[in-house]
Amino acid sequence: MSRIGKKPVQIPAGVTVTVDGSNVLVKGKRGELNRSFSGLVTIKREGEQVIVTRNDDTKESNAQQGLTRTLISNMVAGVSEGFEKKLELTGVGYRAALKGTALDLSLGYSHQVPYPAPENISFEVPDNTHITVKGISKEQVGQVAAEIRAKRPPEPYKGKGIHYEGEHIRRKLGKAAK
């Protein structure tokens, strides 16, 4: 039984939620998000809350209830506060810079690695070894951060590469430990 799915989603001031069958449109000060959900659940807006209920007691509808409630909650949080992921570059000569809205990365290759900013995503580079990915969609922010990290994932011997802030990299000892 879904415990998360039973909790109503609170709508803060300044955010409007429109429910049209299985489609939900959320508008706020940072933008708007639209998403269509499964027919296994019913979505209703009651006052300043959005309530997700199951249509039957199957395992699939139970899972969809929790997923739908969490996705709607993330949409509401995204248009009101937004989401961000922070990345760190570790290694000699590894740098990041902004060129317009695009990210220009020096990752130890013989060339620069450009990464254009997708729609609804912005980058901040407080210094040349830190990147902040910001946006209103939690899913999109996480995907863009993962794609940037994949350009040079951290290696286990020296720890060089791009990693999330606070991520622990398991280090290997190498040949000297033998």
Q: Encode pLDDT of 72-81 as tens digits.
A: 999 999 999 9
CATH placement of domain 9-80 = 3.90.930.12
If you count DSSP H runs as helices and E runs as strands, how many of each does the chain have, helices first? Answer: 2, 13
Longest CA pairwise span in the chain (Å): 67
**CATH 3.90.930.12 given to domain 83-168:** yes
Q: Kindly list the domain boundaries of the chain, sorted by start residue.
A: 9-80, 83-168
Q: Encode pLDDT of 6-37 as tens digits.
A: 899 999 999 999 999 889 999 999 999 999 99
Half-sphere exposure of 31 (CA within 13 A, CB side): 13
Residue 75's pLDDT is 95
- The whole-model pTM stands at 0.89
Q: Which helix (H) or strand (E) holds 71?
A: helix 59-80
